[in-house]
Amino acid sequence: MREHEGAVSERTSGVLVIEIRGELDIDTVLRWTTLIEAALCELPAPHLLVLDLATLEFLTARGARGLLDAMESCRDRGIAGCLIVTPGSVADRVVRLTGLGDRARVFPNRLAAIAASQPVAMRWLPG
């Protein structure tokens, strides 16, 4: 696990999780999208990018657009991407209002996101 300027990234079995903390707005969107791009360029390439917004304190429409751009960049590279958004949170409201939730898969937690990306024969189902 790595911590870099308010973000924690973790890479396991082809899954790259980036926890975005603090604020994602017009002043910070370039820093966050650059950080996401740098993490994607590290080898080996992930098959899934999980952007965890559960601890995000502030998200603007411009920040949501930056997240959408990151998801589209993943798609162009053949990498699946999704968001972790706590229901009822600030991020949840912005994701719904901007339509980002219609264009990127949204899950309530990391386990659900990672389980949904696994091949059916490999899925772990809670008892």
Residue 72 lies in a domain: yes
Residue 43 token pair: 């080898």
Q: Which residues contact 76 (CB under 8 A, 6 or more apart)?
A: none
Q: Which residues contact 117 (CB under 8 A, 6 or more apart)?
A: 15, 47, 48, 80, 82
Computed from CA positions of residues 40, 11, 83, 45, in that sequence, does the dihedral angle turn out positive or negative? positive
Please give the residue range of the domain that contains residue 65. 2-122
Domain count, the chain: 1
Residue 127 lies in a domain: no
Residue 53 near residue 84, CB atoms below 8 Å: yes
Residue 103 lies in a domain: yes
CATH number at residue 26: 3.30.750.24
Residue 98 lies in a domain: yes
Place of tokens 């502030």: 58
pTM: 0.81
Residue 61 lies in a domain: yes
Per DSSP, the three-state class of 64 is helix
Beta strands in the chain (DSSP E): 2-4, 7-12, 15-20, 22-24, 48-52, 56-59, 80-84, 105-107
Task: Please state, in angstroms and rounded to a whole number, the distance separating the CA atoms of residues 54 and 1.
Answer: 17
Per-residue tens of pLDDT for the chain, all 127 residues: 444 455 555 556 678 899 999 999 999 999 999 998 888 887 567 788 899 999 999 999 999 999 999 989 888 888 889 999 999 999 999 999 999 999 999 999 998 988 887 765 555 656 5
Residue 117 lies in a domain: yes
